[in-house]
Structure formats: structure tokens, C-alpha cells
Structure 1
Amino acid sequence: MTPEAMAALHAACFTTPRPWTPAEFAGFLADPLCFAVQAPAGVLIGRAVAGEAELLTLAVAPAARRAGLGRHLVAGFLTEARARHADSAFLEVSAENAAAIALYTATGFAVAGRRKGYYQHPDGHRADALLMAQALSATSP
């Protein structure tokens, strides 16, 4: 998937936080610490450094949701994180995004903290970010 296709998919999925641009995706893909897990209707960008892996973004086309693609992409992220010698993985997600929270919980993440008013929506209201994390081992999901 090209950075332009990734940006178009991201724009179809997000208003808050704002969708990433093709240049931002290209920058992440050029960074040796970052990696992409891709499928025709989804993309996940991760980064691994100093024993930690961060799930930076996950986008699944609206028409492809609830079919296991998000779980597949997260599993690929965890596999790549382990391959890059990460001992832990973390992410942040809007406290208002129940579907994403359910996905991350089902794939082994647990709430580790909260950032009050972290996301600002286009209408001006603010939403908390949940910090979610999990320890990684060679045998974890």
C-alpha cells in the first residue's frame, strides 16, 4: 500500500485524531524503527525502540470492519514487536472508541493510564485517551 493509499484509508476512518497525510505515512515508512502491517483493507503502523513497541495507528476500512482484520493486524504488530526484541507494547486510544478498546483488550492489552482531554474533536469537545499496554514474551498472543 502506498503512502497515498494509507492516507486515504486513514481519512476514511478518522476525524479525531486528524487523519495522517501521505507525507506523514512516507516519513514513518522511511524510519528504520517503524514498520507497517498491511492488508488490502487495513494498515497498522508501529514503532519499536529500546525494548518497547508502540502501536501508532490502526485503520480498517469501514466496510471491512467486524470481520477479524483488526485482530489480524494487531497480531502482526505483536509478532513484529517481538521480532524487534520489544519486551512491552503500548498504545493510546480514545476513551470514546469502544470498538477499538474491545479489540485491544481482546488482543491482550489492558488500560494502564488515562490522559484527560487529550483529543480535541472538530466540534471542540475533548475526549480522554486511554493508555493501554501489555508485556510481551515469546509465547504471548
Structure 2
Amino acid sequence: MSAVSAENAVTLRPMTGQDIDRCLVLERELFAEEGPWSAQAFRTELSSDTHYLVAVDSSGEIVGYAGLAVLGRQGDAGGVETEVRTIAVAPRARRRGIGTALLTALLSKADELDAPVFLEVRVDNQPALRLYERNGFQQIGVRKRYYRPVGVDAYTMRREARSARARAEEATG
């Protein structure tokens, strides 16, 4: 699946274990002060019920990645929920629609499951907040000092399941 404009062609594909080392370089660059994920953390995520993607540019370089966890099961009392685990885009590749493409792919997976989507985001990350709000997320809470060791707060956000959004549109439409 391709994303963004032709001159900035990026392909999204499933993340594999072979991508971990390249993702770690980006992880350390982007999340150094919050404690970047380890190789083991990526391996654990890939071995569980998750949907991880990488964004690869025309030279084969990974310029972004994102992950969505599936929590619960169809038929469980609480149903299925999903959680955006991470979205990362290399600084040199920003403002090209890669973050939007990654998020859109994750949201499509959640919509296939008819599941709400949750996430946490730094309260001072305005570009991410705008992206999430444009895509139907609403702030539902604050987690104090969530990002350690720096102690920055996080907003918790939620996007309703596809069926709930459709019902809300019918009620207001």
C-alpha cells in the first residue's frame, strides 16, 4: 500500500522482526528523553495481537512506523478495543503526510474490528494533537507525569468505534 505524493513516495508494509534494528535507530532519535523501546519490547509487541507497519521510502529506508494493539476479543463482555501503541516519523521525513498515512492505516484496522481506539499523547505535542483531533479523537483524561523520566503529562484520547460514529451521525443528521 502506498501513501503520500508521488515525488515523496512511501510504501506502508507490515513490520517484521528484520525491521527492528532499523526502527530502534529511529526510536532512540525520537524518544531519547522518554526512554526508547528496546529490541525486546518490539519483539514482544510483534509476537502479540498487534498490527505494526513501517513506512519505507523509495531508497528502502524506514522513515516511520506505527503500531496498534488489539485488546479483548469479539464476544467478550467488554468487546474489542484497540490502542495506538506508537507512531513515529523521522524528523527529515515530516510534513509529507507519513504520520497521517500511518494513522489512517491503523484506524482502518480498528474500523474492520468495529473497535474504539485509545491512545496517550504528550500534552505538549501539538502536531500530534492536531492529527488526532482531525481524525475524530477526543480527549478523555490526563495522566500526570506519564512520560518518564521527564515527567510530562499525557492526554488520554478516544475515537469511537465505526458503528458508534455511524449512530451519532444518524442522530445528528
- TM-score normalized by the length of structure 2: 0.72
1:24 alignment partner, one of 41, 56, 60: 41
Is 1:82 the counterpart of 2:111? The answer is yes
State how far apart, in whole Å, the 2-side matches of 1:25 and 1:73 are: 17
Q: How many residues align?
A: 135
Work out the CA distance in 2 between the residues paired with 1:78 and 1:135. Answer: 11
The answer to whether the Cα contact below 8 Å between 2:118 and 2:158 also exists between their aligned partners in 1 is: yes
User: Which aligned pairs between 1:1-141 and structure 2 lie closer than 5 A?
Assistant: 2-31=19-48, 33-40=49-56, 41-50=63-72, 51-83=80-112, 85-121=113-149, 125-137=150-162
SS in 2 for 1:15: helix
Gaps of 5+ in 2: 1-14, 57-62, 73-79, 166-173
Give the TM-score, by structure 1 length: 0.87
| Contact in 2 for aligned 1:118/1:129 (Cα 8 Å) | yes
CA distance in 2, matches of 1:101, 1:54: 16
Report the Cα distance in structure 1 between the residues aligned to 2:125 and 2:81, rounded to whole angstroms.
24
TM-superposed deviation, 1:86: 4.2
Question: Highest relative contact order (Cα 8 Å, sep 6+), 1 or 2?
Answer: 1
Q: Which runs of 4+ in 1 moved over 3 A?
A: none
- Alignment-mate amino acid for residue 66 of structure 1: R
Aligned AA for 1:79?
S
Q: Which has the higher helix share?
A: 2
What residue ranges of structure 1 are gaps of 5+ in the alignment? none
Name the SS for the 2:25 alignment partner.
helix
